[in-house]
């Protein structure tokens, strides 16, 4: 057994022990709240979570009580799925030679570089390595900033968004603030605001934001 496998098993065992205690208390609390409050009151207390369709209409619901997912989610960070990686690749496109980009240049799958660097180009393997490194940074940003549960599709949509706009922009965004407040519908609506380059609205960014929003609401928590 590898050391990292043993570490994960140890965390899982600890999580199971904590879960018995956590569920015995939190489960009773949820049952008590369900008997005492209305649906609207529960939604407000839990952040007014919503589920959405691809058409942009939302139906108010309360997020499911999932102590197992919440506990394990706090221990094992989420990662971009293979489908999410394919989504990023599709949105970015691939170039093995430097191409002009906003504020500089890019190579591979939208990897930002200094103008004049990588003049000889890169291989496909190098492009994949740069992508993996950039995605790891994106994953770390989302896992460190988002404080509410996410479905895999929501995480993948956020990953494409952060990959495109950058970690700094995401961390200071209204989208993140609304999401962490439990306003999933409000967060989904924020994607469409990020379509400008300077003072111009770019059709390419409009299409990308629409695709991210549709992915975010396709299979939702909240």
SS3 track for 55-75? CCCEEECCCCCCHHHHHHHHH
Residue 68: CA atoms inside 13 Å, Cβ hemisphere, count?
3
Q: How far is CA 188 from CA 85, 135, 164, in A?
A: 20, 21, 16
11-30 pLDDT, tens digit per residue, is 455 544 444 334 443 333 33
11 in Cβ contact with 75 (< 8 Å): yes
Residues 189 and 217: their CA atoms lie apart, in Å, by 10
Provide the pLDDT confidence category of residue 10 given band limits of 50, 70 and 90: low
Give catalytic residue positions. Answer: 92
Mean pLDDT of the chain: 77
Distance CA 196, CA 203 (A): 9
Detail the DSSP E strand segments found in the chain: 50-52, 58-60, 95-101, 104-108, 111-113, 196-197, 200-201
Cα torsion 3, 9, 12, 13 to 10°: value is: -120
- What local confidence, expressed as pLDDT, does residue 111 receive? 98
pTM: 0.69
User: Where do the structural domains in the chain lie, given as residue ranges?
Assistant: 3-218
User: 4 pLDDT exceeds 70?
Assistant: no
Tokens of 5: 């496998």
Read off the tokens for 174: 């209204």
Lowest mean per-residue pLDDT among 65-79, 84-98, 171-185, 200-214: 65-79
Residue 61 has a pLDDT of 36
CATH class of 3-218: mainly alpha
Longest Cα–Cα distance of the chain, Å, equals 68
């Amino acid at each position: 057994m590898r050391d990292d496998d043993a570490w994960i098993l140890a965390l899982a065992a600890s999580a199971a022990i904590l879960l018995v205690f956590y569920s015995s208390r939190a489960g009773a609390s949820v049952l008590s709240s369900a008997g005492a409050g209305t649906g609207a009151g529960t939604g407000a207390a839990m952040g007014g979570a919503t589920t959405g369709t691809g058409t942009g209409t939302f139906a108010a619901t309360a997020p499911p009580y999932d102590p197992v997912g919440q506990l394990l989610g706090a221990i094992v960070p989420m990662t971009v799925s293979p489908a999410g990686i394919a989504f990023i690749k599709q949105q970015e496109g691939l170039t093995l030679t430097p191409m002009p980009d906003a504020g500089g240049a890019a190579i591979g799958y939208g990897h930002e570089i200094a103008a004049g660097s990588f003049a000889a180009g890169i291989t496909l393997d190098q492009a994949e390595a740069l992508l993996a490194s950039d995605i790891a940074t994106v994953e770390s940003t989302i896992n460190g900033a988002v404080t509410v549960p996410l479905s895999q599709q929501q995480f993948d949509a956020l990953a494409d968004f952060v990959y495109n706009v950058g970690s700094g922009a995401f961390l200071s965004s209204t989208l993140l603030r609304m999401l962490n407040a439990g306003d999933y519908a409000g967060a989904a609506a924020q994607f469409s605001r990020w379509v400008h380059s300077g003072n111009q609205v770019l059709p390419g960014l409009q299409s990308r934001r629409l695709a991210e929003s549709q992915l975010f609401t396709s299979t939702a928590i909240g």
